[in-house]
């Protein structure tokens, strides 16, 4: 029995999220079907991030236990050929028996893309949130800085989130401007609550539009109430970029940071 680590990317637009559902396409469903077709074995695959419908991934990580003698490189080629065009298999590697894509993770990085222009673009509509109004970038950066650190992020999680604790360490929020009117916000944390990134981004956009002040962030955190924060940003702009593991958690990974 082998433990495999799979790194994959996908356009989440036409998926109903990562997790298997009774109806509709899911990333997990497509991946498990491809594994069964190639190896003849049914295997339950775990994902590092259970991305919601419409959310994309540049570096999702999955793991599974399976009986197969096929080399990892051949598995990657075969699985990539068996999955649809909106899903790419970037790497397949053997991992230690105890490796689990979600439970072994020690940090995640998400990126959110905003197309900030008065006129929408057909080339961004599936992969970025179109915000027509000008955004006050310095105010957004000020607000973001007040969210850094270890806090109870209950005000930024969706109802039904099954995390055992709402306390998370938000390690980094960085802003980057692109020359095609795209504002990128990248967030790194020990782990994220369900809906946390989209709630934070939605709140930061409200600050950028002058509807909230940066100084409100501590009070929003203290409220521990989802109604205290802003509306969630849409799924189309969100990407799971990177999953961090401790040294030796997966074959071929050097140190604690795979980037």
CA gyration radius for the chain?
19
**DSSP readout, 148-174?**
-EEEE-GGGS-TT---S--EEEEEEEE
**CA–CA separation, 103 and 93 (whole Å):** 18
Point out the catalytic residue in the list 11, 52, 152, 179: 52
Distances (CA, A) of 156 to 44, 221, 227: 30, 8, 9
Query: Which ranges of the chain would DSSP assign to H, the alpha helix?
Result: 27-39, 72-82, 137-145, 196-208, 217-223
**CA–CA separation, 12 and 58 (whole Å):** 10
Q: Is 52 a catalytic residue?
A: yes
Catalytic residue list: 52
């Amino acid at each position: 029995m082998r433990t495999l680590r799979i790194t994959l990317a996908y356009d989440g637009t036409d998926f109903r999220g990562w997790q298997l559902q009774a109806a509709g396409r899911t990333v997990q469903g497509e991946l498990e079907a491809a594994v069964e077709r190639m190896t003849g074995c049914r295997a339950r695959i775990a994902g590092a991030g259970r991305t919601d419908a419409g959310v994309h991934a540049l570096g999702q990580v999955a793991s599974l236990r399976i009986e197969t003698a096929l080399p990892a490189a051949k598995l990657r080629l075969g699985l990539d050929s068996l999955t649809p065009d909106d899903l790419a298999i970037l790497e397949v590697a053997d991992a230690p028996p105890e490796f689990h894509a979600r439970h072994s993770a020690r940090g995640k990085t998400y990126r959110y893309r905003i197309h900030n222009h008065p006129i929408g673009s057909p080339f961004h509509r599936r992969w970025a949130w179109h915000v027509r109004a000008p955004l006050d970038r310095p105010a957004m950066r000020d607000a973001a800085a007040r969210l850094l650190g270890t806090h109870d992020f209950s005000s930024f999680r969706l109802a039904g989130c099954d995390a055992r604790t709402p306390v998370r360490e938000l390690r980094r929020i960085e802003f980057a401007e692109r020359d095609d009117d795209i504002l990128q916000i990248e967030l790194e944390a020990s782990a994220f609550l369900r809906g946390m990134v989209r709630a934070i981004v939605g709140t930061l956009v409200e600050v950028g539009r002058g509807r909230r002040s940066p100084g409100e962030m501590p009070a929003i955190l203290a409220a521990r109430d989802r109604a205290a924060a802003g509306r969630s940003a849409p799924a189309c702009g969100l990407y799971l970029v990177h999953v961090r593991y401790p040294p030796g958690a997966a074959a071929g990974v050097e140190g604690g940071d795979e980037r």
